[in-house]
Amino acid sequence: MPSDDAPLIPTMKDRMLAGQPYVADSEIAALTAAAQQRMAAYNASDPGDPATRRRLLEELLGEVGEDAELRPPVYVDYGDRITVGPRTFANFGLTALDVAPITIGADVQIGPHVQLLTPTHPLDAQQRKDRWESAAPITIGDNVWLGGGVVVCPGVTIGENTVVGAGAVVVTDLPANVLAVGQPAKVIRHL
């Protein structure tokens, strides 16, 4: 699957981190296992102990802004490739598969069971059978509201102040200051 003109990157982990196609190997599996342990600790944390819960969230994610809250359960691939801005709130059941970086801005509101999905797989059947994967980053701008059950696909950027209606599937970038709904999500008005 690697193209002949791509620079040679020695390990599958390095290929994954560089945003190139890769096959998950034992080194990547070890990263996933470590993240699963951190995720389990956060998801089992006591809501009556906010200091410990915050520490566990900071251990799970790459960066967590001041007063950000992600209600457990939260599901990640690695966690350390996720940045959450200050005052952001995510309701129960956020799935943020961070094979590529996920950047969530400040003051973002995320409804229950939202999925931020950076991984993708080739259309070629043999390449899928050979377990090749890749990913594209997701960026959520400041003051965005993602309604319950929204799915954001690989490589998507959502502009600031945009609202995405419940159940929408976002497959292309959305500009700032719009309302988008549907499957696939379409802009229905400017805000």
Give the per-residue SS3 of 139-173: EECCCCEECCCCEECCCCEECCCCEECCCCEECCC
Question: Would you say 173 and 137 are in contact if contact means Cβ atoms under 8 Å apart?
Answer: no
Contacts (Cβ under 8 Å, ≥6 apart) of 96 = 74, 75, 76, 82, 102, 115, 116
121 catalytic residue (yes or no) = yes
The angle subtended at Cα 112 by Cα 110 and Cα 114, nearest 5°, is 65
Residue that has been written with the tokens 């007063």 in this structure? 67
Which of these is catalytic: 121, 142, 155, 177?
121
The angle subtended at Cα 147 by Cα 120 and Cα 143, nearest 5°, is 95
The angle subtended at Cα 85 by Cα 84 and Cα 89, nearest 5°, is 75
Rg (CA), the chain: 17
CA dist 47 and 41 (Å) reads: 12
Structure tokens of 189? Answer: 């008005």
Query: Active-site residue numbers?
Result: 121
